[in-house]
Structure 1
Amino acid sequence: MNNEYSFIILTFNEEIHLPRLLRSIAGLNAAIFVLDSYSTDSTLAIAEAAGASVLQNAFENHPKQWDFALKNFDVKTPWVICLDADQVVTPELQIQLLNFKDQDHPNINGIYFNRKNFFKGKWLKYGGYYPFYLLKMIRYGIGYSDLNENMDHRLIVPGNTIIWKKGHILEENLKENNIRFWIEKHNKYSDLLALEETERILGTRNQTVKPAFWGSPDERTARLKQLWWQLPRYVRPLLYFTYRMVFKLGILDGRTGIIFHFLQGFWFRLVVDIKIDEIIKQKQDADRH
Structure 2
Amino acid sequence: MSDISIVILTYNESVHIRRLLSKIAGLQAPIYIIDSGSTDDTVAIAEQYGAIVKVNKFENHPKQWDFGLRNTNITTPWIIGLDADQYPSDELLSKLKSFSDASVPADVNGIYLNRHNYFQGERLKYGGYRNFYMLKMFRNGKGWSDLNENMDHRFVIEGKAIIWKDEILIEDNLKEHDLDFWLHKQIRYSNLTAQEEFQRKRGLRGQTLKPNLFGSPDERKAVFKKIWWNMPLFVRPMIYFFYRFVIRLGFLETTSGRTFHYLQGFWFRFLVDAKINELERKEKRK
Q: Tell me which interval the TM-score lies in, with the shorter structure as reference length.
A: over 0.9
1:29 aligns with 2:32: no
Residue 79 (structure 2) pairs with residue 80 (structure 1): yes
**Aligned residue runs from structure 1 range 158-197, under 5 A:** 158-197=158-197
Instruction: Please say if residues 212 and 223 of structure 2, whose CA atoms lie closer than 8 Å, have aligned partners that are also in contact.
Output: yes
Matching of residue 247 in structure 1 with residue 242 in structure 2: no
Q: What's the secondary structure of 1:224's corresponding residue? A: helix
Q: Which residue of 1 aligns with 2:142?
A: 142
Residues 36-77 of structure 1, C-alpha deviation per residue, up to 9 Å, x if partnerless? 000000000000010000100000000000000000001110
TM-score by length of 2: 0.98
Counting matched residue pairs gives: 285
- Report the Cα offset of residue 103 of structure 1: 1.4
Task: Render the CA deviation track for 1:189-225: whole Å, top value 9, x for unaligned.
Answer: 0000000001111111110011111110000111110
| 1:241-260 Cα distance to aligned partner (Å, 9 max, x none) | 11001111111112111100
Q: Per the alignment, in what secondary structure is the counterpart of residue 14 of structure 2?
A: coil
Look up the match of 1:18: 17
Do the aligned residues in 1 keep the contact of 2:122 with 2:254 (CA within 8 Å)?
no
1:285: how far off?
1.0
AA aligned opposite 2:256 = T
1:219 and 2:238 correspond: no
Spell out structure 1 runs of 4+ moving beyond 3 A. Answer: none
Question: 2:251 is matched by which residue type in structure 1?
Answer: I
What is the TM-score with the length of structure 1 in the denominator?
Answer: 0.97
| Equivalences for residues 229-268 of structure 1 within 5 A | 229-268=229-268
Partner of 2:60: 61
- Aligned AA for 1:66? W
What residue ranges of structure 2 are gaps of 5+ in the alignment?
A: none
Q: How far apart are 1:98 and its partner, in Å?
A: 1.6
Shift of 1:27: 1.3
Question: Percentage identity across aligned positions?
Answer: 54
Q: Distance in 1 between matches of 2:166 and 2:25?
A: 20
Q: CA deviation at 1:104?
A: 2.2
User: Which consecutive residues of structure 1, in runs of 5 or more, have no partner in the other structure?
Assistant: none
Q: Alignment partner of 2:253: what SS?
A: helix
Q: Which residue identity is paired with 2:283? A: K
Write the mapping of 1:101-140 to structure 2, written as runs, cut at 5 A.
Answer: 101-105=100-104, 106-140=106-140
What SS does the aligned partner of 1:17 have?
A: helix
Aligned-partner SS, 2:264: helix
Residues 148-185 of structure 1: per-residue CA shift (max 9 Å, x gap): 00000000001010000011111011111111111110
Q: In the alignment, residue 203 of structure 1 is paired with which amino acid? A: G
Please tell me the residue identity of whatever aligns with 2:73.
D
